[in-house]
Structure 1
Amino acid sequence: MGQCIYLTDLDDTLFRSSHKHPQGEALTRVTTATNGHHGHMNPAQQGLLSALRATGAVIPVTARSTDAFSRVHLDFGTRRAILANGAVILNAEGVADPAWLAHTAHIGRSAETLLLDMSALIGAELGSAARSWIVEEYGAPVYFCVKMNATGAAEVRSGITAAAERLASRFDLSGLQQHANGNNLSFTPIGISKREACRHLIDSIRDGGGAPLIGIGDSLTDLPFMGLCDFIMTPSGSQIADLMARMTDGDLTP
């Protein structure tokens, strides 16, 4: 029987920004962020990655672009990865799968005008309260992201909600998958997803030898790719763990 195959999200799963860690916790910086919010691991996260490395193949599955992923300073033991919410699949040599790139580029370019109009609206109507950008891979747009510039949790939450409502009132978003988690609001063209990329990758690497497939993630948008796996793991305090706690308590309100 083969070792495990771990498909794991990165941000807020294996590491997080220092301000999201409890004060006084021993931290190791593991990413370089252009905005200064570098990713850090606590001892438990470091121990988890070591255990994963020792028992199987660790394959990152992340919303990070190719550029942002290049600034993750961790050795996963493989060069395989799924990047940009599933728009890019890196093979065992760390090279982007050209057929998959062509597939997702076609989807992204079909939504390009809409994404540009959404970005223009956020810039014009929210101004300095928010920042937004279109993530591109190999020249093709693949998703749109909005973040608030506020620092308070309540301000961020209300700002993200207001931005989502404003965009929904002005545009037909039926062709996009919307996701909100903390200070992150994103819109990805339907057809580009972690789940579809993972399905493609799994088909190419699973050899029928019985290696357990384990999905790890923190966000509700990770659940679709995690659902392809034999088992799932999530950090305590994550969006997934909070949903499970509410279900246990009989409270399914957002």
Structure 2
Amino acid sequence: MTTTFFQPNSNIIKPYALMDLDDTLFQTQRKIDAWELPTAEPEHLVCATVNKQGEPLSFMSQRQAAFFNWLLASTELIAVTARDTSEIKRVKLPFDSWQVLTHGAVILMPNGQPLSDWQQKMSEQLYPLQDKLNQLIQLISEHRAQNDNGHNDLIFTMHTDCFHNKELVIYLAIKHAKKDHQALESLAKQLPILIPDFDTHFYVHVNANNLAILPHAVHKQHAVQFLLAHHLDNQRPSFGFGDSLADLPFLQLLDWYGMPSRGQLHSQLQTWHA
């Protein structure tokens, strides 16, 4: 066996950087204030996303903007996000590689087109669940009408997309109009009781003012695993960042991973080490 030692090489191989977006690379002004982010004074803020009316919604601090600029120059940056194909258009940042969207239900190729073999795979798994997904909104709405403990302020969104010319429901998102996190947590605990065989078909992810009811087939981890196995160069290193517990499974597929020093994953880590 010949022992070799490291030698600097000017031929740089760019690593893959697989990055969650919201609350990892940017966040709303409300969270900037709550987290007391450094270098987030008004004169340093950079607009990262807009709302449906085209008004600035989320921002990067000076440090975050510098970090993102470094990622663009030094890595092949792959967005891995819960945002769907319409929501990602409101992110005003230049992505030119793969994009994992809608909690992993959709993979866009670098040319912006859906990845056909992943579309086929997801279509086969989502199609049999369409009736159950459509029943979810009715069951939860009925429950909301019968309760006064904050459930009347729930806002529902059905996320759909087109899979080989078929419009399919992917998952249900719920927000609270008054940002009552406890009301969402309470609902999450009641779902397996309210809905027969809920755990067989679905799982729940709650992070801040977002509750998502997702089929087991839909997960960032599944999409990233598919990309790594079939479309990315396994000789190139990979790393990533994410802020939520739902990000951890996809991050653990990479060579290195981390988190911002605030958010759900950071808070959970502090709890584990308390």
* Residues 1:221 and 2:252 aligned together: no
- What secondary structure sits across from 1:142 in the alignment? strand
Q: Deviations over 1:163-204 (max 9, x none)?
A: 223322211221112111111111111122111111111123
* Residues 1:149 and 2:160 aligned together: no
Work out which of the residue numbers 164, 186, 190 in structure 2 matches 1:166: 190
- What secondary structure sits across from 1:66 in the alignment? coil
2:41 corresponds in structure 1 to 25
1:66 corresponds in structure 2 to 85
| Deviation, structure 1 residue 233 | 1.6
* Paired residues of 1:104 and 1:142 also in contact (CA < 8 A): no
Give the RMSD, CA atoms, in angstroms.
Answer: 1.9
CA distance in 2, matches of 1:247, 1:176: 27
1:123 partner amino acid: S
* Residues 1:235 and 2:264 aligned together: no
1:252 corresponds in structure 2 to none
CA distance in 2, matches of 1:245, 1:166: 27
1:75 corresponds in structure 2 to 94
2:22 corresponds in structure 1 to 11
Count of aligned residue pairs for this structure pair = 243
CA distance in 2, matches of 1:126, 1:25: 41
Report 1:204-215 matches (<5 A): 204-209=230-235, 211-215=236-240
Aligned residues with identical type, % of pairs: 28
2:4 corresponds in structure 1 to none
Could you say if the C-alpha distance between residues 37 and 123 of structure 1 is closer, same or farther in structure 2, counting changes exceeding 3 Å?
farther
TM-score (norm 1): 0.89
* Paired residues of 1:6 and 1:215 also in contact (CA < 8 A): yes
| 215-224 vs 26-35, which moves further | 26-35
CA distance in 2, matches of 1:137, 1:125: 27
Is there any run of 5+ residues in structure 2 with no aligned partner, and where? 1-11, 146-151
2:218 corresponds in structure 1 to 192
* Paired residues of 1:122 and 1:130 also in contact (CA < 8 A): no
CA distance in 2, matches of 1:121, 1:45: 41
1:136 corresponds in structure 2 to 160
* Paired residues of 2:158 and 2:172 also in contact (CA < 8 A): yes
- What secondary structure sits across from 2:233 in the alignment? coil
2:122 partner amino acid: T
CA distance in 2, matches of 1:166, 1:119: 14
CA distance in 2, matches of 1:48, 1:75: 14
Runs ≥4 in structure 1, deviation > 3 angstroms? none
- What secondary structure sits across from 1:3 in the alignment? coil
CA distance in 2, matches of 1:170, 1:110: 21
| Deviation, structure 1 residue 79 | 3.7
| 78-87 vs 224-233, which moves further | 78-87
* Residues 1:107 and 2:118 aligned together: no
Could you say if the C-alpha distance between residues 79 and 57 of structure 1 is closer, same or farther in structure 2, counting changes exceeding 3 Å?
closer
CA distance in 2, matches of 1:120, 1:225: 32
1:202 partner amino acid: L
* Paired residues of 2:16 and 2:238 also in contact (CA < 8 A): yes
Q: Larger Cα Rg: Structure 1 or Structure 2? A: 2
